[in-house]
Amino acid sequence: MKSLKNNLLFRSLAFCGVVAFAMTACEEEDGNVIDYKPGQHLNVSGPSSVYVGDKEQYYILNNRKELDHIWAIDNGAKITEDSENDAYVYVDFFEPTDHALTVSTSSASGDMSVKVSSREVHFDVDSTLRSETVKNDTVTIPLAIDGGFNGDFDVTYSLSGSMDASRYDVLAGYESPYTISTDSTNHIKLVVYPDVAVTDTLDIVLTIDAVNPVLTHEYIKSDTLQSIVYSFVDDLKIVTLDTATMDITEAGVYSIPVTISKESSETISVAYSITPGVGVSDATVTTTPGVLTFEAGITERNITLSINDNALDPKQTITVSLDGLTTADDEVSINNELDSKELIIDEE
């Protein structure tokens, strides 16, 4: 009996393939030796949530290759069977709705519910309210696409807000309607022009009006976050001098404040001059002759003068003037109405 059992075992292994690799061969063909029982439920594997325009693979776990699997799905999707094994299919989705994907054989069946959504187009949530300064002349407004990019589409948008339209332009190539494609980045660009006269915060409001996709229902305008507000503040830094006349009645050290209206991230240098009246040529000594330097973040510095005893002649005048900038920053300017100060020397 032992000999007969061994012989049957050998024949069984040989049936699977080469004897030395019999178990491996059987494991690899395991899907082909599983039989479906009548009424058995087939487990369908694949994503249960997709987007319009997606093409996804679905298949039966523990499938039998030699069986005829019949797949079906309701309108708004298309099934393509795998040419080598129809237990595997690819489904193209065209409608934003819930689908029932079914599969059956002569003795078993299975199903899966698939939720299909359109890709919503809106402005990036992080950009719903963003403050820019006019120093940043080119402003980039990013778009977000829920579900990811899947092909070209057009975005029609409009601009409004308190900033006068003459102060900004849409960068060439980004005008409405603007085509989003694989060859471009998903954003809109504006160029904003500085205006010295602006002192208030202004804003530009962008609103997505329509999305026109190549595939109907694929891209839609989001019900939320379709408007974005960019606030612009005047970033011009104005240099001014304390112009109030200063009366000097005794020798000593005097400070004249010079201020910048806004902090700068870079060093700003301002040239100045001191013009003494007749008889006071020896009256001025400055700590930094000719140039006042504002380091980044500093908004106030002083021009320092030392008035000597021999300058105390009655009714003499010293004039301090801001002459210009020695830094190359077009966002800094000197207020021409507040750039000169008189010191009146009048010994009591």
pLDDT tens track, the chain, 348 positions: 333 333 433 333 333 333 333 333 333 444 444 567 777 888 999 999 999 999 999 999 877 767 889 999 998 899 999 988 889 999 999 999 999 999 998 888 999 999 999 988 888 766 666 666 666 678 888 888 888 888 888 889 998 888 888 888 998 888 999 888 776 668 888 888 766 555 567 788 888 888 888 888 888 888 766 677 777 766 677 888 888 888 878 878 888 889 888 777 778 888 888 877 666 655 555 655 688 888 888 889 888 888 776 666 667 788 888 888 877 566 677 877 788 888 787 766
| Residue range 78-91, pLDDT digits in tens | 999 998 888 999 99
Q: What CATH number does the domain located at 34-117 have?
A: 2.60.40.10
Contact status, residue 52 vs residue 43, Cβ threshold 8 Å: no
| Residue range 102-140, pLDDT digits in tens | 999 888 899 999 999 998 888 876 666 666 666 667 888
| Residue range 16-65, pLDDT digits in tens | 333 333 333 333 444 444 567 777 888 999 999 999 999 999 999 877 76
Alpha-carbon torsion 288, 289, 291, 292, what sign? Answer: positive
pLDDT of residue 143: 83
Buried b (16+ CB within 10 A) or exposed e, 301-327: bebebebeeebbeeebbbebebeebee
Contact status, residue 44 vs residue 112, Cβ threshold 8 Å: yes
Contact status, residue 324 vs residue 273, Cβ threshold 8 Å: no
Same CATH topology for 34-117 and 120-233? yes
The distance between the two most distant Cα atoms of the chain, rounded to a whole number of Å, is 139
Q: List 255's β-bridge partners, or say none.
A: 304
CATH 3.40.50.880 is the classification of domain 120-233: no
CATH 1.10.3720.10 is the classification of domain 237-345: no
Enter the pTM of the model. 0.55
In eight-state DSSP terms, residue 118 is: P
**320 torsion bin: left (phi>0), alpha (psi -120 to 50), beta (else):** beta
Cis peptide before 177 (omega within 30 of 0): yes
Domain ranges of the chain: 2-31, 34-117, 120-233, 237-345
